[in-house]
């Protein structure tokens, strides 16, 4: 159904030697252009007149004109007023604003040969800045632990207990599921290789050493870093956005003593327990897969496990759990305290925290492997 005062463009072709005249009429506003369906044909007609300089334009008969319609004419004119133009008085101001805006030029960023050096320098400075803040955070936690030992009655027991519940107890489900599945997969793959060489009985040795010494602590730490580490960073970041951290300082409450130290202590306590739990679930899954694949009974598996895995490996696994827990808590708190009071920084800081925590855990595991390379075999 055609609308009243639809936008139209009439082109009067002059005789030989004369210039064409263009008369626009109707409503050249965005809603009229969209409803009439003539925006494509009008744009094509205007584009055909773009290279013709001696065209007479008459816009005085327009019923109304908005910025969208005016911009269509401006683009057809090559972003400058034509020599022969007839406007209504009310249209003069609109085209004056468009003409003034078209003169503005956005400065282009100059590419320098030193850009790569500058980027590298910024990265190095940012790394040392993070290291400096992280070392200060470690020192603050050590001081807060000394204060907690000297005055245990006034310590943040509730905060420690709550963090143990959230970071430890509530993570039992996901660590049990992933640990069990990893045990099943590892046992199944190892059983296929050992069967080819007749070494079925060595499955207990291979599975026990790999799970208790390496996979159990590393798997639990990665899961806790992704689950609890992101939660810690987000919690501190939201407190920064809502200005709760500033309110704590005004009231004389230490961030380190009430927020950071309880989280580090809670993860140092709960992580070794999660490592034992993850080891147990992984060995249980491996035991089930060994029963199905090789026919090894659970009784044989449990009898051979203490002899297959020296006691030092259990201690190394628990020591890894404690170290990984403290590192995850410190990295998460470090990035949580550096979040700026806006939502974009909150999302970016949480993502960076999880990635950094997992990277630090893997680096720490490599250091453990080098230090204890001659222990437990």
Least confident of 34-43, 103-112, 221-230: 103-112
Confidence class for position 108, pLDDT limits 50, 70, 90:
low
Over residues 209-231, mean pLDDT: 89
Q: Give the E-state strand segments of the chain in sequence order.
A: 8-12, 21-28, 56-58, 62-65, 84-86
Distances (CA, A) of 292 to 57, 141, 192, 196: 87, 49, 12, 16
Residue-level pLDDT at 332: 92
State pLDDT tens for residues 64-100: 877 787 778 777 777 777 777 777 777 777 778 877 7
Element of type H or E holding 109 = none
Residue whose structure tokens are 């159990």: 216
Q: Could you tell me the two tokens for 27?
A: 């409503």
Mean local confidence (pLDDT), 285-308: 80
pLDDT grade for 312, boundaries at 50, 70 and 90: confident
The pLDDT of residue 275: 93
Helix 115-150 × helix 311-337 angle, to 10° = 110
The pLDDT of residue 298 is 77
Q: What is the pLDDT of residue 264?
A: 92
104 pLDDT tier (thresholds 50, 70, 90): low
Total Cβ atoms within 10 A of residue 81: 16
**More confident call, 61 vs 123:** 123
Pull the structure tokens for residue 349: 């800081």
d(CA 47, CA 51): 8
Q: What is the pLDDT of residue 259?
A: 86
Bridge pairing between strands 62-65 and 84-86: unpaired
Read off the pTM: 0.68
CA angle 308, 312, 315 (to 5 degrees): 120
Contact 223, 174 (CB under 8 A): yes
Longest dimension (CA), the chain: 108
Average pLDDT over residues 373-377: 72
Q: How confident is the model at residue 1 (pLDDT cuts 50, 70, 90)?
A: very low
Q: Report the alpha-carbon distance of residue 341 to residue 338 in Å, rounded.
A: 10
DSSP state of 18: P
pLDDT band at 36 (very low <50, low <70, confident <90, very high): low
Q: What pLDDT digit, counting tens, does each position of 301-311 carry?
A: 788 888 888 88
Higher model confidence: residue 352 or residue 73?
352
Q: Which range scores top for mean pLDDT: 15-19, 158-162, 254-258? A: 158-162
Count of residues for the chain? Answer: 377
What average pLDDT is seen over the chain? 82
Q: Give the lowest-confidence range in 14-28, 172-186, 265-279, 356-370.
A: 14-28
For range 231-252, the mean pLDDT: 86
**Range from 31-45, 88-102, 209-223 that averages highest in pLDDT:** 209-223
Write the CATH number of the domain with boundaries 8-102.
3.30.750.24
């Amino acid at each position: 159904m055609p609308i009243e005062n639809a936008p139209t463009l009439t082109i009067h072709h002059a005789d030989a030697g004369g210039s064409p005249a263009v008369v626009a009429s109707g409503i050249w506003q965005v809603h009229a252009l969209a409803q009439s369906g003539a925006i494509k044909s009008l744009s094509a007609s205007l584009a055909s007149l773009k290279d013709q300089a001696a065209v007479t334009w008459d816009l005085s008969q327009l019923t109304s004109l908005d910025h969208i319609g005016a911009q269509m004419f401006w683009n057809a004119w090559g972003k400058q007023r034509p020599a022969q133009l007839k406007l209504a008085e009310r249209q003069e101001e609109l085209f004056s604003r468009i003409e003034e805006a078209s003169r503005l030029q956005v400065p282009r960023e100059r590419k320098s040969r030193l850009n790569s050096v500058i980027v590298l320098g910024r990265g190095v400075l940012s790394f040392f800045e993070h290291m400096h803040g992280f070392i200060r955070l470690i020192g603050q936690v050590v001081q807060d632990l000394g204060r907690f030992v000297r005055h245990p009655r006034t310590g943040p027991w509730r905060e420690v207990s709550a963090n143990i519940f959230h970071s430890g107890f509530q993570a039992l489900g996901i660590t049990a599921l992933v640990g069990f599945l990893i045990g099943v997969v590892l046992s199944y793959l190892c059983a296929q290789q050992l069967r080819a060489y007749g070494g079925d009985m060595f499955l207990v040795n291979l599975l026990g050493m790999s799970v208790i010494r390496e996979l159990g602590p590393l798997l639990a730490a990665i899961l806790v870093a992704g689950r609890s580490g992101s939660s810690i960073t987000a919690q501190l970041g939201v407190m920064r956005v809502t200005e709760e951290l500033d309110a704590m300082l005004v009231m004389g409450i230490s961030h380190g003593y009430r927020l950071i130290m309880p989280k580090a202590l809670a993860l140092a306590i709960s992580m070794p327990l999660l490592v034992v739990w993850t080891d147990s679930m992984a060995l249980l899954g491996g035991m089930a897969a060994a029963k199905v694949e090789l026919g090894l009974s659970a009784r044989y598996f449990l009898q051979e496990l203490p002899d297959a895995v020296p006691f030092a490996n259990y201690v190394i696994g628990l020591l890894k759990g404690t170290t990984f827990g403290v590192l995850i808590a410190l990295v998460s708190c470090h990035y949580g305290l550096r979040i700026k009071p806006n939502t974009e920084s909150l999302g970016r800081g949480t993502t960076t925290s999880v990635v950094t925590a997992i990277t630090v855990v893997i680096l720490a595991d490599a250091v453990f492997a080098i230090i204890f390379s001659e222990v437990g075999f």
